[in-house]
Amino acid sequence: GESVGLHLPTLSVQEGDNSIINCAYSNSASDYFIWYKQESGKGPQFIIDIRSNMDKRQGQRVTVLLNKTVKHLSLQIAATQPGDSAVYFCAEHGSSNTGKLIFGQGTTLQVKP
Amino acid sequence: DTAVSQTPKYLVTQMGNDKSIKCEQNLGHDTMYWYKQDSKKFLKIMFSYNNKELIINETVPNRFSPKSPDKAHLNLHINSLELGDSAVYFCASSRRPSGPPDTQYFGPGTRLTVL
């Protein structure tokens, strides 16, 4: 079946450290992956995306790595700040033309001052 | 200016009632979605409309009926509410549903509590 999952439900890091949030997906035909950040009481907010023809994509303080061989996705946050505390979701877009995204369970990132 | 807005933000109601949640986007997008987020934060798509046409209809009870009066609005009507309908409902929009996938932008959510 379709599933996208994250390895750890909660990740606690010290302010200033780098954070790595992992995600495993099951559909090898998925062509697009997105990371969303959801702060308490708010809707998911787009962070960064990557298409399946890429291995790495960098944004401002964030990097997404895609390993299609093992169907693994990761989000790296450099110099983690208190404002990064949130739930992070990976999502995959399958091969359909409907725009349907399948979300993982989410990882809660806690940043300790 | 809010890109994707939803009303109400909170909705508390009794079992058996009928309620509606409204969504509007001012991004000029063609596609809108409804997602349900359960108590464990799991997000699952329910419906998607492209320019007022239904394109995704997941296995959702037919008590849930989306309605799109125009491409900027997608409302969700729920009949005969049940306890299990309690969740946070998110509306989202994107430029297009097909071709290269496009970023979906989410609204702030509507927390529905059924008593």
Per residue in B7-53, pLDDT (tens digit) is 999 999 999 999 999 999 999 999 999 999 998 889 999 998 888 88
Tens of pLDDT, residue by residue over A13-55, are: 999 999 999 999 888 888 899 999 999 999 999 999 999 999 9
Q: How confident is the model at residue A2 (pLDDT cuts 50, 70, 90)?
A: very low
CB contact under 8 Å between B43 and A103, yes or no, is: yes
Count the Cβ atoms, other than its own, within 10 Å of residue B56.
19
Minimum CA–CA partner of B95 in chain A: A99
Write down the pLDDT at residue A1: 38
**Chain A with chain B: Cβ pairs closer than 8 A:** 67
CB B103 within 8 A of CB B31: no
Strands A32-38 and B10-13, by their bridges, are unpaired
Classify B92 as helix, strand or coil.
strand
CB contact residues (below 8 A), chain A span 68-87, against chain B? 87
Structure tokens at A32: 């697009």
CB A25 within 8 A of CB A111: no
The reply to whether A43 touches chain B by the CB within 8 Å rule is yes
CB contact under 8 Å between B98 and A99, yes or no, is: yes
List the one residue out of A71, A64, A66, A67 whose CA is nearest residue A26. Answer: A71
CB contact under 8 Å between B101 and A31, yes or no, is: yes
